[in-house]
A and B are shown apart, each in its own frame.
Chain A
Amino acid sequence: MAFKVVKPGLSTTIQDLGRPGYFHLGIPEGGAMDRFAMRVANMLVGNDEAEAGLEAVFMGPELTFEDDTLVAVTGGEMPIMVDGEPRESWSSFVVKAGQTLSFGFLKSGARIYIAFGGGIDTPSALGSRSTYPIGALGGVEGRAIAADDVIPVGKSKGMTERTLDKALLAPVDTPVSLRVLPGLYWHRLTPASQAQFFADEWTVAPEADRMGYRFRGGAPMEFVEREQPFGAGSDPSNIVDGCYSYGSIQVPGGQEPIVLHRDAVSGGGYFTLGAVISADMDLIGQLQPNTKVRFVEVTMEQALAARTARRERLDKIRAALG
């Protein structure tokens, strides 16, 4: 089983749920930016949720199939076509041998996820097929897919078509709310600056990718005065290089916050003011540049409640599609 890449799209990468365990060496967990969409795409084609699929950002690929394959597309809203005939998102459908899967223009969100019955079967690296281009790990020889690649697909568990009731999807606010637990080096900011960070409306900058999302439009940060500790560097936003958390928010020079995402650098010398909670990480993967965002302060209790709500939503979907 395999499909061939006719057009790769803008940056389409093979992703699964990532390779945890190597961040201490600077190799990030990686994997689908929007884990929820990747998991549901796999459920729709009867796969284990951790199977590898494709993540396409802003633009879909064009693929031709060598064998009949059960396919599902989730995530951002983008018209789906099989030999020019429309198909539904958040549903699985059979693409017959010789047919072509293609996409129209992105309508909302930022990334689509394509799952294939049986899962993509490229070689795994450090326990995952996820593409990490900087380290040349996973994917197709460590890179995004390219025209003429033939991507192997594993053995499918069946051809049962499934449809998700879209009422089971979480609604998204406008402007988008990203919930943040203050911490880490939060004490470096003055109380006024701390309050301003949550009061301001921010905009997703063009520099937004798998490593991190940059935001602009809010007020520059003000730091509590201090003599910089030895080894930290002279800028008030510098610290002695430490580890970064996934979702942590660094603000180099106090100017533009960057939320580290799945392909995060593992450490560095910028202060972090806290982290986006685990329940909202998927949502970031669906933000386009210029989207308006507000950071919302939450407590640990609220972060854990949001995490539980997210898990319960997935459980409901598992039950519905099981």
Chain B
Amino acid sequence: MKTRYSFGGDEHVYVEVDEEMSLEAFFVALSLRNAVAEANIPGVTEICPANASFEVRFNPDVISPDEMMARIKELEHKAEAGEKRLDTRIVEVPVYFQDPWTHETLMRFRERHQDPEASDLEYAARINGYDSVEAFIEAYHSQPWFVSMVGFVAGLPFLYQLVEREKQIEVPKYLRPRTDTPKHTVGIGGCFGCIYSVRGAGGYQMFGITPMTIFDPTQTVSYLQDFMVFFKPGDIVKWKPIDRAEFDRIEAAVKDGTYTPRIAEVTFDLEAFNADMAGTNAKLMEALNGV
């Protein structure tokens, strides 16, 4: 890991902890981001964390850009020594794989895809070495994922698969982005899973759809009344495959205010995870099943 600092115009400092994605880079970026927040540097207006990087927006009328960057660099050693442990939560997210809506959408944008003859799932299964779409879906949902970034558009989570790197699913993004993606589409681009929080443009491969609302500007959904965005970095997600009947039931329950997401409080320790991924994941899922 080699941290790189750069200016984004005269109002941003961009800090890239590592070029490549890893949970180590995520945790160092998180610690450094937290250290910058705690330092209360005058002129800082917002700090945006990302997967293996973060960005500080500041007012150059209050603090000079060079001083701003120097203040962040001073905190680097502290962040690297920081604890790679997080008190967080695991959330069960129901997914209707191979749903009719993402299928209709992917058919409309076939000419923008690497393999116009196959569906997104068939293509992703093949290039990742799975014999069938079913085996691929099983690999996608059987182990938990880690929310390493929230953004792009309102409340959209980027997720990192909690398995050995050689087992991680990787797919390219569409050759040219689609102009449409159904709201709540579950998919993947590069190594990152995502849930599209709103309808709109997108380039990730589309696998299914969740009935769970994750962004609600009206704040009427029962579990989004405190804040309109559901996810935050560090959340852990376990996908649960569901069928059409279950999808309809949950969607109706979200609407009438009777749906409560299944959530358990957990601690994620990176060292423990690296030492025993299967065991750590089993414990995380056990906590969820105990709810």
Interface: A175 (CB within 8 A): no
Minimal Cβ-Cβ distance residue in B for A298: B10
Say whether B22 contacts A272, CB under 8 Å.
no
Q: Render A16-32 as a binary contact track against B, CB cut-off 8 A, 1 for contact.
A: 00001101111100000
Q: Does the CB pair A23–B217 fall under 8 Å?
A: no
Indicate if the CB atoms of B217 and A240 lie closer than 8 Å: no
CB distance from B177 to the nearest CB of A (A): 8
Residue ID in chain A nearest B21 by CB atoms: A231
| Beta-carbon contact of B14 and A240 below 8 Å | no
Asked whether A238 is an interface residue with its Cβ less than 8 Å from the other chain, the reply is yes
* Nearest neighbor of B233 in chain A, beta-carbon distance: A24
| Contact B14–A245 (Cβ < 8 Å) | yes
* CB of B46 closer than 8 Å to a CB of A: yes
Cβ-closest chain A residue relative to B153: A26
Known contacts A233-B173, A233-B189, A266-B48; is-contact A240 B7 (Cβ 8 Å): no
Question: Given A24-B48, A241-B192, A277–B200 Cβ distance below 8 Å?
Answer: no
Task: For chain B, give the interface size range.
Answer: 35 or more
- Indicate if A229 sits at the interface (CB-CB under 8 A): yes
Residues of A within 8 A of B10 (CB): 181, 277-278, 300, 303-304, 307
B60-90: CB near A (< 8 Å → 1, else 0) gives 1100111000000000000000000000000
Give the segment of A69-77, A134-142, A215-223, A283-291 that binds chain B: A134-142
B190 touches A232 (CB 8 A): yes
Q: Is B285 an interface residue (CB 8 A)?
A: no
Complex Cα gap A187–B98 (Å): 41
A278 to B10, CA, bound (A): 7
B6:A24 contact, CB within 8 angstroms: no
Contact status A311-B61, CB under 8 Å: yes
Q: Which residue of B lies closest to A247 (CB)?
A: B9
In the bound assembly, the distance between CA atoms of A231 and B50 in angstroms comes to 13
**A265, CB-defined interface residue at 8 Å:** yes
Chain B nearest Cβ from A138, distance in angstroms = 9
Contacts of A252 in B (CB 8 A): 177
- A267 and B50: CB pair below 8 A? yes
Instruction: Confirm or deny: A191 has a beta carbon within 8 angstroms of a beta carbon on chain B.
Output: no
Cβ contacts under 8 Å, B215 to chain A: 135
Tell yes or no: B12 within 8 A of A by CB. Answer: yes
Query: With A24-B49, A181-B9, A231-B20 in contact, is A267–B14 under 8 Å at CB?
Result: no
B31 at the interface (CB under 8 A from A): no
Are B51 and A241 neighbours in the complex by a CB distance under 8 Å? yes
- Given the known A-B contacts A134-B200, A136-B217, A240-B19, are A234 and B172 also in contact in the complex, defined by CB atoms under 8 Å? yes
Instruction: Report the Cα distance A300→B67, complex, angstroms.
Output: 13
Task: Tell me, in angstroms, the Cα distance from A234 to B175 when the chains sit together.
Answer: 11
Measured between beta carbons, the chain B residues less than 8 angstroms from A186 are 6
- New contact pairs (9) apart from A184-B7, A272-B8, A303-B10, CB-CB < 8 Å: A233-B173, A240-B18, A240-B21, A240-B53, A243-B50, A243-B54, A245-B9, A246-B57, A300-B7
A-B contact pairs, 23 of them (CB 8 A): A21-B46, A23-B57, A23-B151, A26-B153, A27-B154, A136-B198, A142-B217, A181-B10, A183-B9, A230-B20, A230-B21, A231-B21, A231-B52, A240-B18, A241-B50, A241-B51, A245-B55, A245-B57, A246-B9, A246-B11, A275-B7, A278-B10, A278-B60
